[in-house]
Structure 1
Amino acid sequence: MMKQGLKIFALGILVIILFTIDFPLRENTLYGRYANTNYQNPICCVEAPHEPDTLVLFRDGHFESKFYGKGRFELNKGLVTRIKLHYISDRISALGNTYFSNKLFEKTKIILNPDMNHVFTKIN
C-alpha cells in the first residue's frame, strides 16, 4: 500500500514539473511575430509598451516593433533562454533584457512583467 502511494506521489510531482517548467526553444519556435498582451495594466516600467504592438524577430538577429523601432537582439540559451534587445530610445542607445517562457501546451512568450502577465505572445 505504501509503495503505491509513493508511486502516485512521484507521478503527481512529475506532472507538476512538466506543466511548470520552460522547455528549450527550437529555431522554428523562436523567430516570428509576437503580439503585446496584457499591456493595459498600470504602467510599471517605461521600457515596455503599454499599447498594442507587434515585435518581429528575424533569423538574422534583427527585430522590428512600433514601440522599440528597429534594432538587433542577442540570445543567451541556457536553462532559460534570455533575450537582449538593442535599440534607440530618444536618440540614446537602449537595452531591453528579459527572457522567454516556453511551457507545455502554451504559446511561446517573451516576458515583460511576470507579475502582471505582461508579455509578447507568439502569433506565428
Structure 2
Amino acid sequence: MKKVLIVFVFSIFMILIFTVDFPIKGDSLYGKYVNTNYQNTICCVEAPHEPDTLILFNDGKFESKFYGKGWFEIYNGISPRIQLHYTSFGKAALFNTYFSNKFFEKTKIILNADMNHTYTKID
C-alpha cells in the first residue's frame, strides 16, 4: 500500500512539472521570439500570419515587423501575461496574451493555443 501511494504522489508530481507554466525569471524573458505555425488558417487579425520576429528589450520596449515599435507590460505570476502596446492605423492598440514556460521547453508567447501559433524564444 505504501508503494502505491509513493508511485501515485510521484506521478502527480511529474504531471505537474511537465504541464504547469512556471513564472519567468528576470532577464530570461527578454530577447528574440520568432513567429511559428503562422501558416495555419487565419483566425484573428491581431496576430501575424507571416514570418515575424518580436524583440523584447529590457527597457520595456519592443520591436516587430508586424506590430512595429511599442512598449510592453509583464504580469508575472502563476500565469505569466504580456500586454503589447502599439499603434495600428494611427490609433493606440493593445494585444493581451500569455506566456508558456514549461519545463524542458523554450519560452513561448501564445498567439493561438488551439493552433499552436506562438512566438518562440530563439535567443
Structure-1-length-normalised TM-score:
0.97
Mapped partners of 1:114, 1:53: distance in 2:
18
Match in the other structure for 2:5? 6
Q: What is the Cα-based RMSD across aligned positions, in Å?
A: 0.7
Match in the other structure for 2:100? 101
Match in the other structure for 2:27? 28
Letter matched to residue 97 of structure 1? N
Q: Which runs of 4+ in 1 moved over 2 A?
A: none
Mapped partners of 2:106, 2:76: distance in 1:
18
Mapped partners of 1:11, 1:106: distance in 2:
21
Mapped partners of 2:104, 2:20: distance in 1:
11
Task: Kindly tell me the number of residue pairs found equivalent between the two proteins.
Answer: 123
The percent identity for this pair of structures is 66
Mapped partners of 2:111, 2:65: distance in 1:
16
Structure-2-length-normalised TM-score:
0.97
Mapped partners of 1:18, 1:44: distance in 2:
31
Q: Tell me, what secondary structure is at the counterpart of 2:114? A: helix
Letter matched to residue 96 of structure 2? N
Letter matched to residue 95 of structure 1? L
Mapped partners of 1:100, 1:5: distance in 2:
35
Letter matched to residue 82 of structure 1? R
Mapped partners of 1:15, 1:79: distance in 2:
18
1:76-107 per-residue CA deviation (whole Å, 9 max, x = no partner) reads 11211111000011111110000111100000
Q: Which runs of 5+ in 1 are unaligned?
A: none
Mapped partners of 1:92, 1:119: distance in 2:
25
1:1-35 per-residue CA deviation (whole Å, 9 max, x = no partner) reads x1111110111111010000111111221000000
Q: Which runs of 5+ in 2 are unaligned?
A: none
